Amino acid sequence: MPMKKIVFCTDFSENAEEAFSISLEMAEKFRAKLYIVHVLPPVVNPLLTDTDWVSPYEPVQSFVSKIESQMRREYGERIGDGVDYEFVVLDGHISTEILKYLEENQIDIVIMGSYGLSGVGLVVFGSVAKRVAHKAVCSVMIVRKPGTAGQ
């Protein structure tokens, strides 16, 4: 299967770190472009109705700049000169934005951690990896941190 476009989705968790290592290795091996994607979820108070959205104190562009800086520190500095890559920060419902990006950009494979959030975050947001795996238009690789089977 030819791979020219690889998406690595990050929430900056330990599982995302494992997925990044595999994404980078595959981008080098296949000489594919690597898209490093993070989605800013909407800021919502779950106690309010569907129409009562809470606005962030900072403009979205400020959040985007901070995320891009974090991506450069955590991932960009580890990518060699031979890999073409791009940072992508999306805004909205996490799995919906990822799925839309995959389709619109004709991505060959998406690589992501098996889970990132835990506890209440997992209950509120559900499993992004599960939704992406079920609905993606491309191949999906879900990476688990070694030694975490069944957790």
Report yes or no: 110 and 136 within 8 Å, Cβ to Cβ.
yes
Task: State residue 123's pLDDT score.
Answer: 42
**Which domains occur in the chain, in start order?**
5-143 (3.40.50.620)
**Kind plus residue range of the DSSP H or E element containing 61:** helix 60-74
pLDDT digits (tens, 9 = 90+) for 32-62: 999 999 999 876 555 555 555 555 555 667 8
Task: State residue 127's pLDDT score.
Answer: 83
| Sequence-ordered list of residues with C-beta below 8 angstroms from that of 29, at least 6 positions apart, any chain | none
- Segment 108-128 shows an average pLDDT of 68
Q: What is the C-alpha separation between 67 and 121, in angstroms, rounded? A: 19
Confidence of residue 64 (pLDDT cuts 50, 70, 90): confident
Q: Which two tokens stand for residue 97?
A: 């934005």
Report yes or no: 80 and 96 within 8 Å, Cβ to Cβ.
no
